[in-house]
Structure 1
Amino acid sequence: MDFDLSPEQTQLQDGVSRLMAARYGSLEARKALGSGPDGFSHEVWAQFAEMGLLGIPFSEAEGGFGGGPVETLVVMEALGKGLALEPYLATVVLAGGALRLGASAALKERIIPGIVEGSARLALAFTETQSRYTLSDVACSARRQGDGYVLDGRKAVVIHGDSAGHFVVSARTSGERRARDGISLFLVPADAQGVTRHGYATQDGGRAAEIAFSDVGLGAEALIGEEGQGLPILERVAEHAIAALAAEAVGIMAALHALTVDYLKTRQQFGAPIGQFQVLQHRAVDMLIALEQARSMAYYAAMMVEHEDAQERAAALSAVKVQINRSCRLVGQEAVQLHGGIGMTMEYLGAHYFKRLTMIESLFGDTPHHLRRVAAADGLAA
């Protein structure tokens, strides 16, 4: 199977890599870009829009560029290498993905052009304090009132929720709290009456928010997809998120491995670079093997995320997340061990790579969660 990128994909890769090198060339530059109240650079976000990055997954009819999972992989890997702070995952992959997969033509026409041009930023509000990784565990409710709905409830750890102009919110319109049926998705303006949010910094340098909805009135046009049928859309968005995070993790691990090997070549001990010691060479090779295993699974995710069979697709993406999580942990921990004390200091770039890998390991399901899903599907082979 040919895994080479097309000329257009290679051009995209080169363009994003150059942008990351120019804007995120050092830890000091990253700190400066994240020093604003929103935790990212609006100037860099505008550059994303100018390059067409924000319109990649949307069709040309929706105002985008008709890219696919491979183009998203290319972008996310480059953003990972740069440790980018901009809300690409939150706006384009998560909330934008929910609109792309489930919204009406009228709603797409109203919102997606703003995403593509960089003027609209969105966040997906789907996690609750009790839900952990169960997408169907939804206590937030939306009850009918006239032709519209009234939304009540709370959402937790909403990625980039403090700077979003709209939320895509999962709410229960019928059924018990953990029932698969009865979950609906709504587009909610962040400035709507009854919406309050508390933003905070996350451990990896990003931003998140706790969102509360109290008697928030919504029109019928706010509904994404059919009433009570929001869970399948949410599950598809989660699969696209896993594929995107896999690519981001590969970019981070590649950068961290290169940083570690360079350190082994320069750090002197007993009158020689510590990279000359065979046991440390073996550990660096273990990191490389884990990285390449993760890279293979990231490619597999890009192949399978649009697969027509839902069961095969779900099992494949869970298997991807298992390997990505394992590689994140091994590469991150080995990098810290091989660096010694400096590997955990806030003043060293490697520590920030490690923290982001640790966050990725928990996003959209940890290793035991996805191992159970793979086991329940009887593995990947029939």
Structure 2
Amino acid sequence: MDFDLSEEQRLLKDSVDRLMADRYGFENRQRYAKEPEGWSRDLWSAYAELGLLALPFDEAHGGFGGGPVETMTIMEAFGRSLTLEPYLATVILGGGLLKQGGSEEQKATYLPQIASGDLRLAFGHTERQSRYDLFHVGTSAQRDGGSFILNGQKSVVLHGDSADKILVTARVAGSRRDRDGIGLFLVDANAPGVSRRGYPTQDGQRAAEVTLESVRVDSGNVIGNPEGALPVVEKVTDIAIAALAAEAIGAMDEMLKLTVDYLKTRKQFNTTIGSFQVLQHRSSEMFIALEQGRSMAMFAAMMAQEQNPEERRKAISAAKVQIGRSGRFVGQQAVQLHGGVGMTMEYKVGHLFKRVTMIDTLFGDADHHLSNLAEAGGLMAA
């Protein structure tokens, strides 16, 4: 199997790497985090100009028809630079749900707006009782003529405080843990009955608690089958996990680089600590963990578009397990080998470790996915 990038993919990688190097140093990131929305609108415009916001969408909808490999390339660069902008929330999750489940009219209306940077989306799915189960939905959607009335609460909605519209899962029929009866609704973030409480997350990103009180959504803003949205939600979530795996690889790669550079310059007993064999072994083990994670991130990218949901889910769970384990090991070693400076707010390593830790918990941590994989009989049949 050929893992080399094509000429177009190499050009994309070079462009994104150059943008990050020029405009996303760690000091710049700290400044962007202090902006009103917690991220840079100027950088968001730059992403649009470079075509990053349009990349996954079809040419008919203002996109470039990119696939998982292109997404992996972008997310690795974002992971190394610890970007704050709502790319995952808007392009991968929000745009992905519209691309996979929306009508042609909805795609034609909203996808070009995402590509141009004029529309920001969020995905409201988690509820206080749901933990990692996408089908555990208590928010209700009651039919009222040709509309639906939504009531409920969504927690930890990524970038929900700055989104223009929120894609919300709500139950049209069935009991709280039924897989059937779940609809997906596009809700105006400023609609009557919608309230948002934004806050910073541990890794410097933003999230919001969203409350829906008798929010009316007309039939034109229902995404797909109003009682059968779960398969689309699960597919897009799997695609998002593959993207997060790539972001984690970028963050781990940066942690390893910073750690090796530190070992080459920090001195004890009149010599650089990188000359001590035991620390060389530690950095070698970090490299092995990184490469194990990288191989599974590539596997996740290849399997993200798999049409068989069972096979896709097993591959994504296997990747999530390895990414979680590798991220924890690389992060712990990076902080320990740096000593006290690795834990300070002024140094990048601690922030990278926080981000990798948050990625582990998004859409299910390593233990959760290991359990899912075991119930499915493992990645490969015995």
- Check whether TM > 0.5: yes
Q: Could you say which residue in structure 1 is the equivalent of 2:151?
A: 152
The answer to whether the Cα contact below 8 Å between 2:235 and 2:309 also exists between their aligned partners in 1 is: no
> Which whole-Å CA distance do the structure 1 matches of 2:163 and 2:157 have between them?
10
Q: Could you say which residue in structure 2 is the equivalent of 1:11?
A: 11
| Counterpart AA for 1:217 | R
> Which whole-Å CA distance do the structure 2 matches of 1:29 and 1:304 have between them?
35
3-state DSSP of counterpart to 1:259: helix
Q: Could you say which residue in structure 2 is the equivalent of 1:233?
A: 232
> Which whole-Å CA distance do the structure 2 matches of 1:316 and 1:9 have between them?
24
Q: Could you say which residue in structure 1 is the equivalent of 2:63?
A: 64
> Which whole-Å CA distance do the structure 2 matches of 1:259 and 1:159 have between them?
28
What are the Cα deviations for residues 169-219 of structure 1, in whole angstroms up to 9, with x where unaligned? 000000000100000000000010000000001111110000000000111
| Counterpart AA for 2:87 | Y
**1:245-324 correspondence runs (5 A):** 245-324=244-323
The answer to whether the Cα contact below 8 Å between 2:124 and 2:167 also exists between their aligned partners in 1 is: yes
> Which whole-Å CA distance do the structure 2 matches of 1:114 and 1:34 have between them?
25
> Which whole-Å CA distance do the structure 1 matches of 2:41 and 2:75 have between them?
18
Q: Say whether 1:91 aligns with 2:81.
A: no
What are the Cα deviations for residues 25-51 of structure 1, in whole angstroms up to 9, with x where unaligned? 2x2111111211111000000000000
| Counterpart AA for 1:158 | V
Q: Could you say which residue in structure 2 is the equivalent of 1:112?
A: 111
Q: Could you say which residue in structure 2 is the equivalent of 1:39?
A: 38
What are the Cα deviations for residues 146-191 of structure 1, in whole angstroms up to 9, with x where unaligned? 1111010000000000000000000000000010000000000001
> Which whole-Å CA distance do the structure 1 matches of 2:319 and 2:378 have between them?
12
| Counterpart AA for 2:77 | A
**Which is worse superposed, 31-40 or 149-158?**
31-40
> Which whole-Å CA distance do the structure 1 matches of 2:152 and 2:23 have between them?
39
Q: Could you say which residue in structure 2 is the equivalent of 1:171?
A: 170
What runs of 5+ residues in structure 2 fail to find an aligned partner?
none
3-state DSSP of counterpart to 1:54: coil
Distance apart, 1:7 and its partner CA: 0.4
Distance apart, 1:361 and its partner CA: 1.0
> Which whole-Å CA distance do the structure 1 matches of 2:189 and 2:205 have between them?
19
| Counterpart AA for 1:317 | I
| Counterpart AA for 2:23 | R
| Counterpart AA for 2:322 | Q
Q: Could you say which residue in structure 1 is the equivalent of 2:29?
A: 30
Distance apart, 1:227 and its partner CA: 1.4
**Which is worse superposed, 62-71 or 157-166?**
62-71
> Which whole-Å CA distance do the structure 2 matches of 1:275 and 1:113 have between them?
51
**Runs of 4+ in structure 1 displaced over 4 angstroms?**
none
Q: Could you say which residue in structure 1 is the equivalent of 2:76?
A: 77
| Counterpart AA for 1:8 | E
Q: Could you say which residue in structure 1 is the equivalent of 2:124?
A: 125
What are the Cα deviations for residues 328-379 of structure 1, in whole angstroms up to 9, with x where unaligned? 1000000011011111110111111111011111111111110011111111
| Counterpart AA for 2:269 | F
Q: Say whether 1:380 aligns with 2:379.
A: yes
> Which whole-Å CA distance do the structure 2 matches of 1:380 and 1:180 have between them?
23
Provide the TM-score with structure 1 as the length reference: 0.99
Distance apart, 1:321 and its partner CA: 0.2
3-state DSSP of counterpart to 2:53: helix
> Which whole-Å CA distance do the structure 2 matches of 1:367 and 1:13 have between them?
29
> Which whole-Å CA distance do the structure 1 matches of 2:141 and 2:61 have between them?
28
Distance apart, 1:308 and its partner CA: 2.1
> Which whole-Å CA distance do the structure 1 matches of 2:263 and 2:28 have between them?
25
Distance apart, 1:110 and its partner CA: 1.3
Q: Could you say which residue in structure 2 is the equivalent of 1:103?
A: 102
> Which whole-Å CA distance do the structure 2 matches of 1:167 and 1:152 have between them?
14
Distance apart, 1:24 and its partner CA: 1.1
| Counterpart AA for 2:138 | A
> Which whole-Å CA distance do the structure 2 matches of 1:224 and 1:63 have between them?
20
3-state DSSP of counterpart to 2:236: helix
The answer to whether the Cα contact below 8 Å between 2:141 and 2:148 also exists between their aligned partners in 1 is: yes
| Counterpart AA for 1:337 | Q
- Could you say what the CA RMSD is over the residues aligned between the two structures, in angstroms? 0.7
Q: Say whether 1:143 aligns with 2:142.
A: yes
The answer to whether the Cα contact below 8 Å between 2:126 and 2:154 also exists between their aligned partners in 1 is: yes
Alignment coverage as a number of residue pairs:
381
> Which whole-Å CA distance do the structure 2 matches of 1:28 and 1:50 have between them?
23
The answer to whether the Cα contact below 8 Å between 2:151 and 2:215 also exists between their aligned partners in 1 is: yes
3-state DSSP of counterpart to 1:55: coil
What are the Cα deviations for residues 56-106 of structure 1, in whole angstroms up to 9, with x where unaligned? 111112221100000000000011111111100000001111111001111
